[in-house]
Amino acid sequence: MPFHISVELLEPLYQATGMDGERAEWPPHPARLFCALVAHADLEDAAHRTALTWLEAQEPPVVTVPAKPLEAEHPRAAWVVTNIVNPAKATHTLLPGRTAGGVPRTWAQKTLSGSRMVFSWAAEPGEELAPVLKELARRVPYFGRSTGTGLLDAWCGPDEPGNGDEWRKRWLPASAGEYPKGSQPIRVPYRGYLAWLEEAFEDQRPAWSQSLTHHYLDPDHTDRPERPGVDGPFGDLLTFSFAPGVALDPRWTLELTGQLRSMVMGTLEAMGHDVEAMTTVHGHKNSPDDPRPVAYLALPFAGHRHADGMLRGLGIALPREMPKRDRRALLAALLHHDGGLRRIRLADGQPLDLERVGPADQDSWPLTVQPWAWQEPSTVWATVLPMVLDRFPKNGDPYWADSVTASCVAAGLPEPERVRVSPHHAMVPGARHAGGFPVRRKDRERPLPSCHVRLAFPVPVTGPVVLGSKKNFGLGLCRPEPDFQEDDQ
C-alpha cells in the first residue's frame, strides 16, 4: 500500500524561496520535507537512520497541494539575527535581532486556497519502519520557513477520501530521463542524500548545495500551439562530472578543454585510428566543406541566484553531420576503451577524476552536468562563458551586434531577431564577467575581443549553443533562458 506524509499548515501560507531565488517554491519540494525529517531525527538512533535511508531510496513521490496558489506581491520581511559561528565576531550583539548590514531578510510566499498538502510514495515501508517514519513526521514543528507552523503525520494506505476534488492538484513525477513539455525540475531525495547532508552540515554548507532534481508534470499546464523548432548544429551531448565537492575556476576553461581534446586524440590513436584524418575530432578542416568539428565544453554552475560560476564538469558535443565511422570511434573511446573516460591530467600533471553522466541516471546528478540542461529548445540563449568574436568588429558596428549575428550563422544557427551584447558584464546569474578572462590558447593568436551576449531567435533552437572563434574549446557556451523582458528590447 502507498505511504503518505501529510503537512497541515496552521496558516494557509507557504513561505519558502524557490530555486530561482526570487519566487516562492511551488509545489513544495520533497527534498525540503526530507531535510525537515533529518533535522529532527536522532541520527545516532539506528531505527531513525534506517527509516531515512529507506525513504531516500524510493522513487520520487506524488505531491498533492491546494489548487490556485497566489504569489505574494511583496515578499515577507523580518529582522533576523545573523548566523554567527565565531563568538569573537558576534557583532549582532550590538544590534540584537538585526542583520549585520541593517537590512531585513525577505521570504517569497504563496497564499493557498487550503492548508493541507500530501507527499505519496508508491512503496510501503513495512511494519517496522512505518511507525518510525510516523514518529519522525510528528517531530517536525514547521514546514518551509520557521514561521510556517504545521502538523505532520504519516500513514500507509489510501489517501483520505473526499480530498481528490477540484480544490487540490496532483504533481506527478515524469518518467526517469524524460522532460515533457510543461514539466519543471523539483528537488527530490536520492540514494546517499542523507550522507551528503551530513557532510554538508559538517562543512557548514547549505542543504541546497546537495540538491538533485527530477521533472514533475505541471497539472495546470495546457498545450499551446508550438512554433516549429530548429535543430542546432550538435546532435548528442556527453557529459562528465567532476568528483563531488570539486569545482574549478572557469578561467581554466581553455586549459581543461584543450587537455580533454588531447586525451581523446591520444586514446583514439592508441586504439589504432588515423586521428589526422578525423577532422571532426581535431578540428583542423582541410576544406570549408569538411563537417563541423566536435565541441569540447566546460560546464559552469550558472543561472541560479546562488550560482558561483565554477566549473562542475566537462562535455563533448557531437555534430549532426559527423561521419558515422568517426562517431563510432569517438563513442568507443569515451565510453568503452579501457573503462571509458574516467580522468584527465591538467597541464601541471594533476589528475582530475571524471564520472560519466549516463542517460539512465542523469536525474541523479546536479543540473549543471545534466545534458538536457544545455540542450532544451529555447528561443532565447545567453552566454555563461564569454564568447570570442570570429573577427574584429567593423567601424560601423559599434555595439558588435552585426559581428555576433555573423558568428551565429557561422556556428550553424539561425540569424537572431535580437542581440544584446556586453563587453564586460555577464547576463546570467553566477557567470563570470568577460574582462580578464583568458581567451587565447596560444600567445601568437590574434587578441580578438570577447563579450557576453543574449540572443533571441525567431524559433526555438535546440542546444547546445556555443559561439565564436573558440566555440570548439567551450568559450561562448550558452544556456537556454526565459524570453526577453520589455526593457531588454
Q: What is the dihedral of CA 82, 88, 89, 93, to 10 degrees?
A: 60
Please say if the pLDDT value at position 166 is more than 70: no
- Structure-model confidence comparison of residues 102 and 423, the more confident one: 423
Q: Which of 22-36, 151-165, 260-274 has the lowest mean pLDDT?
A: 151-165
Q: Give strand pairing partners of 234.
A: 319
Q: Whole-model pTM? A: 0.60
pLDDT attached to residue 349: 75
pLDDT digits (tens, 9 = 90+) for 148-161: 899 999 999 877 64
pLDDT for the residue numbered 35: 94
In contact, 467 and 474? CB cutoff 8 Å: no
Task: Give the alpha-carbon dihedral of 288, 291, 292, 298, to 10 degrees.
Answer: -140
The average pLDDT across 7-12 equals 92
* Cis preceding linkage at 141, omega within 30: no
- Mean per-residue pLDDT for 389-397? 82
Q: What is the pLDDT of residue 393?
A: 85
Q: Is the pLDDT of residue 285 over 80?
A: no
| Edge-to-edge order in the sheet of strand 13-15 | 13-15, 109-111, 70-71
CA distance 269 to 273: 5
Mean pLDDT of 452-475: 92
pLDDT of residue 95: 47
Predicted local distance difference test score (pLDDT) of residue 89: 53
Residues 6+ apart with CB under 8 A from 340: 334, 356
Among the residue ranges 85-99, 138-152, 176-190, 260-274, the one predicted with the least confidence is 85-99
Decide which of 485 and 327 is more confident.
Answer: 327
User: Phi, psi (5° rounding) for residue 322?
Assistant: -60, 130
In percent, how much of the chain has pLDDT > 70? 86
The burial class, CB within 10 Å (0-12 / 13-18 / 19+), for 149 is: middle
DSSP secondary structure string, 388-436?
A: E-SSPPPTT-TTSHHHHHHHHHHTT-PPPSEEEEESS--SSTTPPPSTT
Would you kindly state where each structural domain of the chain is located, as residue ranges? 3-81+96-217, 234-488
* Residues 315, 356, 189, 213, Cα dihedral to 10°: 20
Mean pLDDT of the chain: 84
Fold of 3-81+96-217: Alpha-Beta Plaits (3.30.70)
Share of the chain above pLDDT 90, in %: 45
Would the pLDDT of 229 be above 80? no
Q: Give the confidence band of 91 by pLDDT, cuts at 50, 70, 90.
A: low
Give the mean pLDDT of 322-327.
90
Of the pLDDT bands very low, low, confident and very high (cuts 50, 70, 90), residue 106 is: low
Binning pLDDT at 50, 70 and 90, where does residue 479 land?
very high
> What is the spatial distance between Cα 14 and Cα 456, in angstroms, rounded to a whole number?
35
Among 180, 177, 178, 136, which residue's Cα sits nearest to residue 154?
136
Integer CA distances (angstroms), 170 to 16, 60, 72, 465, in order: 19, 13, 22, 35
Ranking 175-189, 234-248, 407-421 by mean pLDDT, the lowest is 175-189
Q: What is the pLDDT of residues 53-89, one digit of tens each?
A: 999 999 999 999 998 888 766 666 666 655 555 555 5
